A and B are shown apart, each in its own frame.
Chain A
Amino acid sequence: MVVPAVVTEGLKKSYGETKALDGLDLEVAQGSVFGLLGPNGAGKTTAVKVMTTLLKPTAGRAVIDGIDVREDPRAVRTRIGLTGQYAAVEERLTGRENLELIGRYFHYSKADQKARAAQLLEMFDLVDAGDRVAKTYSGGMRRRLDIAMSLVARPSVLFLDEPTTGLDPRSRLGMWDFIARLGDEGTTVLLTTQYLEEADRLAEKIAVIDIGRKIAEGTADELKDQIGGDNVRVSIMRYENIERAKEAIRTLCVGAVVQDPESPMTLTAPIRAGGGVVPMIIRALDDAGVDVMDVEVRRPTLDDVFLVLTGHGTQMPAEEESRT
C-alpha cells in the first residue's frame, strides 16, 4: 500500500492559552494537489510550520511520507520543499546563485548544482533574469524563484504557504500555471490560500479550516454544492416581459428562478459553476425577445463558505486576530 504524502492526526499547537491548531486531521494522497483554505488566523501557516518541522506540535502527529516529523525531522527535511509566505530569496545573490546555494546545502557536486539551477531557471521562465541579482526581480519573479529553490532537491512533497498573496492579478495567473504544472508532474503539493478561487483552480481536494480545525473537506464542486454554487442576477428593461424572461431561463438554471422582492425587474437564480451558462442565458432571453439591461454572476466567496459552514464570516473577533 502506498503511504499518503501527508497525514496529520489530532494536531495541536498552543501558545499559552491560545490554540493555533486545535486537533487538525488531514490526509494528502501522493501526487495530489491539496488546498488548505481558510481566512487569516485560521492556523494555516502554523499547520505548514508543524508539517515542515519548523514548529513542534503540542499534541498529535504529523507524518510526511511515513516519517513522523518529531521522530526524524532531518529525514523529513530531505523529502520536503517549503515556500513560505515571504519570498525567502537572498536578494543580493542572482537567481542562479540562489538555486546553486540550495544545491550546495544538499551537498551536490558543483556540476550538479549548476545543472539543476539551469534546469529550474528554464522551467520557471527565469533564464533571462538568471544572472541578475534577485533584488531587481518583480514580486512574481521572486515568488517563482522561491518555489524553484524549494524544488532543487526534487522534494516529494512541496508546501506552498499562500503562494499568490501580494501578487498582482496577472502574476497570480502566471503563478497558477506553474503550480498546476507541478501537480501534473506528480509532485505532491500542499498549498494554503485565502482565496476560494485559487483553491478551486489548483487543488483536487480542499480542506477548509477555521480556528485551527477542519470544518469541511472535499473537492471544489462538493464544497460549492454545500454552499449553493454561483448565482445569476438578470435585470430586464420592461416589466411586462418578466414572466417570459422567467420561462426563458428556467431550464438553464439549477434551482428556482426568483423575482427580487426589492427590485421587481430583477430575477435571481442559482446556476452551475463555471460552465459558460451566462452566454446561454443571454441568448435565450434574446430569442424570447426580452431586452436585457444587466446580467451579473455572483460567485461564492470565502465569506460565503464561512457564513454557511460556521455561521460567521471571515472577520474574526478581535481577540482571535493575532493567531497565525
Chain B
Amino acid sequence: MTTTQSSISSTSPTPTVPSGSGRVANIVLDSFTEAGRHVRIIPRNIEVLIFATIQPVMFVLLFSFVFGGSIQVPGYPDYDQYLMPGIFAQTVVFGSVFTSVGLAEDLSKGLIDRLRSLPIVQSSVLIGRTLSDLVRNIITFIAMLAVAFVLGFRFEGSLTSAAAATALLLLFSYGLSWVQALIGLSVGSVEAANSAGFLWMFPMTFVSSAFIDTRNLQYAWLRTVADVNPFTQVTNAARALYNGTDPGDAVMWSLVWSIGLVVVFAAIATRKFKTSSE
C-alpha cells in the first residue's frame, strides 16, 4: 500500500462533542441529516422509482379500461373522475411499505448499529426515514398525476382544494409510515418486512370506496367494514376535494386518523427502537 504517512488521527485523539443548541435543534438537525441520506439515493435507485411509478399507472389503466364500462358510480358520469383519487390514495399508501423495507434493510446491514453508536438523537433515525419516504411518495405522486391528466382526469374544484386533497393523502400515508416503521423494527428480515408491510395493504385499500361505491357491496357487514375503514374516509375526502364537491366530515375524520396514527405509532416505534438495547 502506498499511503502517505499522514496522521490517522491528525492531532491527538480528542473527542468531538456535537455542538447544537438544545434537544429540539438536535432532533431537527439529525432528522434532516438522516432524511438527506435516504433522499440522496432515491435518484440512484432509479429502477425502484420506475417500478413504484409503473404499478399505479398500470392500476389506472386496468381499472379505467377494464372496469370503466361496467362500474357505475352515482354522481360520477365519468368513472375516471371517481377512480383516479382512489388510485392516488392506494398508491401513496402502498408507498409507506418503503419505510418497513428500508428500515429492515438498514438493520440487516448494520447501518442502524452504526447510527446508534453516534451521538445523535436516537428518534431522528425513524423521523428521518419516514420523512424521506414522504419525499419519495411526493415524487411518485407527481408522476402519477401526470399520467392521470393525460388520460383525461381534471381538478373540478379549485387548485387550493386539489392541494388540500393531495396533502390529506400524503399525511395519511405518513401516518402509515410510522405503522410500517414499527413493522420494520419488529420483523427479522427485509423479505419479512416486505410481506408484512404489504399484506394488510390489500384488504385495506380494496374493502373501501377507492374503486367502487361501498353501497354496492353485497354484504351488509362488508359495507360496514368499508365505511369505517379510515382509508375510505381519506379517499372520500380527497375525491370530493378534487371534484369540487362537499367532502362533509370526511376531511375531519381523515385528519383525526392521520394525526392519531402519527402520534400513537411514532411513540410505539420510537420506544421499540430505544428498547432494542435491552
Chain B CB within 8 A of A86 CB = yes
Please give the number of chain A residues whose Cβ is less than 8 angstroms from any Cβ of chain B in the complex: 53
Q: Is the CB of A80 within 8 A of B18?
A: no
Per-position 1/0 for A126-161, Cβ under 8 A of B: 000000010000000000000001010111100000
**Does residue B160 face the partner (Cβ distance < 8 Å to A)?**
no
**How many whole Å from B135's CB to the nearest CB in chain A?**
15
Interface residues of A in 59-102 (CB under 8 A from B): 65, 74-75, 77-82, 84-88, 90-93, 97, 101-102
Which one of B8, B18, B20, B111 has the greatest number of beta carbons of chain A within 10 Å? B8
Q: Which residues of A contact B111 (CB under 8 A)?
A: 88, 90
Whether A241 sits at the interface, judged by CB under 8 Å, is: no
Let me know if B110 and A187 touch, CB within 8 A.
no
In the bound complex, CA of A80 to CA of B113 (Å): 13
* A106 touches B (CB below 8 Å): yes
Q: Give the shortest distance, in Å, between A184 (CB) and chain B (any CB).
A: 8
Chain A residues, Cβ within 8 Å of B114? 82, 84, 88, 149
Please give me the residue from chain A that is nearest to B18 by CB atom. Answer: A107
* Residues B11-63 near A (CB distance < 8 A): 11-20, 29-30, 33, 36-37, 40-41, 44-45
Given known contacts A56-B278, A133-B44, A151-B9, A88 and B33 CB-to-CB distance under 8 angstroms? no
Kindly identify which residue among B8, B16, B37 contacts A101, using a CB–CB cutoff of 8 Å. Answer: B37
Are B1 and A174 closer than 8 Å at their CB atoms? yes
Asked if B70 is an interface residue, CB under 8 A from chain A, the answer is no
Q: Which size bracket describes the interface of B in this complex?
A: 35 or more
Contact A52 B117 (CB under 8 A): yes
| Interface hits, B94-146 → A, CB 8 Å | 109-111, 113-120
Q: Are A187 and B18 in contact (CB under 8 A)?
A: no
Determine the distance from Cα of A185 to Cα of B14 in the docked complex, in whole angstroms: 13
Which residues of chain A are within 8 angstroms of B218 by Cβ–Cβ distance?
none
CB <8 Å contact, B7 and A185:
yes
Of A116-124, A190-198, A224-232, A298-306, which binds chain B? A116-124
Q: Give which listed residue, A55, A77, A101, A123, contacts B119 with CB less than 8 A.
A: A77
A182 at the interface (CB under 8 A from B): yes
- Nearest opposing residue in chain A for B40, CB measure: A93
The answer to whether A177 and B1 touch across the interface, beta carbons within 8 angstroms, is: yes
Within the assembled complex, what's the spacing in Å between the Cα atoms of A48 and B40? 31
Are the C-beta atoms of B119 and A106 separated by less than 8 Å? yes
Chain B residue, CB-CB nearest to A108: B16
Contacts of B116 in A (CB 8 A): 53-54
Known interface pairs A93-B41, A106-B118; 19 further A-B residue pairs with C-beta atoms within 8 A, sorted by A's residue number: A52-B117, A55-B277, A55-B278, A56-B277, A74-B119, A75-B17, A79-B15, A84-B110, A85-B110, A88-B114, A92-B41, A92-B44, A92-B45, A106-B16, A107-B20, A122-B6, A133-B44, A154-B13, A177-B1
- Using a CB–CB distance below 8 Å, which chain B residues touch chain A? 1-4, 6-20, 29-30, 33, 36-37, 40-41, 44-45, 109-111, 113-120, 277-278
> What are 18 A-B residue pairs whose CB atoms fall within 8 Å in the complex?
A49-B113, A53-B117, A65-B15, A88-B109, A88-B113, A88-B114, A90-B111, A92-B41, A107-B19, A107-B29, A108-B16, A124-B3, A125-B1, A156-B15, A178-B1, A182-B8, A185-B7, A186-B12
A residues bordering B, Cβ < 8 Å? 49, 52-56, 65, 74-75, 77-82, 84-88, 90-93, 97, 101-102, 104-108, 119, 122-125, 133, 149, 151, 153-156, 174, 177-178, 181-182, 185-188
